[in-house]
Chains A and B, each alone.
Chain A
Amino acid sequence: MSFFHTKQVISQLADAGTGIDESSKTFVFEDEGHTLGNALRYMIVNNPNVQFCGYTVPHPSESKMHLRIQMFKGRAVDALKKGLEDLVKMCDHSLLVFNEEMSIYKSEHDSKT
């Protein structure tokens, strides 16, 4: 069950034969799936330094999500961080716009009744 965030969620999959290559990494997310995977993939793939980003849920009965990032330049972790930060920004802005529109709608409809 996904009740707690205290345990470690992200781990890294060893890259076969590449040794310590910081530019290509596969991150494993515990208790995540398509919900976060697809949105995060979209955010990261939009980074111009990223050569490739893809995600997969390797097995449906195992709640794990693999996210692969390959970079033109820079570290894969930084691209992941930037993707998460972008998602946070997007959430903040969406919430702001939604709250604004909601209060406009409510004030218009209260005055009518």
Chain B
Amino acid sequence: MGVPPTVTLEEHKISKNVSRCPTVLDEHWTFKTFKKRCRIAIVRYEDYEIEFDFIGIHPAVANTFRRIMISEVPTVAIEKVHVLNNTSIMQDEVLTHRLGLIPLKADPKLFEFKAEVDAEPREQDTLEFELKVKCMYNKDSNKNSSLAEDMYINNYVYSKHIKWKPIGSQKDKFSEENLGPVHDDILITKMIPGQELDLKLFAIKSNGKDHAKFSPVATAFYRMLPEISLVKEVEGEAAERLQKCFSPGVIGLKKDNGRVIAVVNDARYDFSSRNVYRYDDLKDAVVMRKVQDHFIFTIESVGAIKPDDIFREAINILKDKCTSLLQELNSL
């Protein structure tokens, strides 16, 4: 497949390495070459996080996927709050803003977009919740304590206090454990005895373009694969200094006949600080490069959608966009 396109990060400039054979950056895109080049490798997959390598694509395409994940994959979040009573010290607008930011587990695929912002809530497009909490003195507390949690009941309002109120036939379709907040220990506000909250919450489906609270990701980013090579032998004190110039684990120290020599262990997790250039004796010993068609995607989900599903959804959104545009063009 030839040499991948790279750039070299020099002290005062970034220089391009011209590959001898055509790369994804300069050759004509055809489905055949794309199929040959495109590779994906899953590196890490956890509940909320995925890291994978997407190789052989053009930066324009990588960036489109990233942008769609952040601002066009829909989720469900609290959009409207009816404040029936709020005697806590937190202002209505601050409180409602905080409620909007709470991630909900509800699966956005099961809901429709609201036709109009001010339309009446329907069971297909809205989830209703209730937050009704009153803070009181804890009379049963026999402890002679002055700690707030011993003296009062409900002085901390958490996301677990949010209760679901089914609309229409929602009761048969969903269950509360699949709809409510992702985390039940998000602190919403604090109260003292006598203060109370009585709120009606309405959650709708929308995307990150509308408001950042609808974005399914905490972060979704990519970086190009770093390559580091040592062109001179670095030993002793200089080797340790070189190790400190890079992210932990990137440079290793090898013992050889009583000498300590620096070696490159794993360039992947280098975050490309330019600290080597602070040392005149080290800067000529290292060449730092980036592979331009090798993208390391990291997607961190907020909790509503699994991170791999966010990426799948992003691909589908781009595809749907194109097919609906094609339909329109064909009907012109």
Q: Report B83 CB to chain A, min CB distance, Å.
A: 25
- In the assembled complex, the CB of A93 is this many whole angstroms from the nearest CB of chain B, namely 6
Measured CB to CB, the closest approach of chain B to A43, in angstroms, equals 6
CB of B87 within 8 Å of the partner chain: no
Measured CA separation A89–B326 after assembly (Å): 13
Chain A residues contacting B330 (CB-CB under 8 Å) are 81
CB distance from B56 to the nearest CB of A (A): 10
Q: How far is the CB of B305 from chain A (nearest CB, A)?
A: 14
- Interface band, chain B: 35 or more
Contact residues of A: prevailing secondary structure: helix
Contact A35 B315, beta carbon cutoff 8 Å? no
Q: Which A residues between 29 and 68 are near B, CB-CB below 8 angstroms?
A: 29, 32, 34-36, 38-39, 41-43, 46-48
Cβ–Cβ contact B319 & A92, under 8 A: yes
Contacts of B39 in A (CB 8 A): 97
CB proximity to B under 8 Å, residues A64-113: 77, 80-81, 84-95, 97-99, 101-102, 104-106, 109
A39 with B38, Cβ < 8 A, contacts A2-B209, A98-B311 known: no
* Residues 51-89 of B contacting A (Cβ, < 8 Å): 52, 54, 57-58, 60-61, 63-64, 67-68, 71-72
Smallest CB separation, A3 vs chain B (Å)? 4
Compute how far the CA of A8 lies from the CA of B328 in the bound complex, rounded to whole angstroms.
7
A109 to B41, CA, bound (A): 14
Q: CA A8 – CA B325 in complex, angstroms?
A: 9
- Number of residues of chain A lying within 8 A (CB) of chain B: 45
- Determine whether the beta carbon of B38 is less than 8 Å from that of A88: no
Inter-chain contact A102/B308, CB cutoff 8 Å: yes
Give CA–CA (A2, B60) in the complex, Å.
Answer: 22
Chain A residues, CB < 8 A from B117: 1
The residues of A that contact B218 with a CB separation of less than 8 Å are none
Name which residue of chain A comes closest to B41, CB basis.
A101
Q: How far apart sit A9 and B329, CA to CA, in the bound complex (Å)?
A: 10
A13, CB-defined interface residue at 8 Å: no
Measured CB to CB, the nearest residue on chain A to B66 is: A35
Q: By the criterion CB–CB under 8 Å, are B29 and A42 in contact? A: yes
> CA separation between A81 and B38, bound complex, in Å?
23
**B174 contacts the other chain (Cβ, under 8 Å)?**
no
A85-B322 Cα distance, complex, nearest whole Å: 7
CB–CB A91/B311 < 8 A: no
Residues of B within 8 A of A104 (CB): 42
Given A35-B68, A42-B29, A109-B45, check contact A87 B318 (CB 8 Å).
yes
| Residues from 1 to 21 in A contacting B, C-beta threshold 8 Å | 1-5, 8-10
B residues whose Cβ falls under 8 Å from a Cβ of A: 28-31, 34-35, 38-42, 45, 52, 54, 57-58, 60-61, 63-64, 67-68, 71-72, 113-115, 117, 206-207, 209-210, 308, 311-312, 315-316, 318-319, 321-326, 328-330, 332
Contacts A3-B206, A29-B325, A89-B31 known; 9 new A-B pairs at CB < 8 A: A2-B209, A38-B63, A46-B28, A46-B30, A77-B329, A84-B323, A88-B319, A90-B61, A98-B315
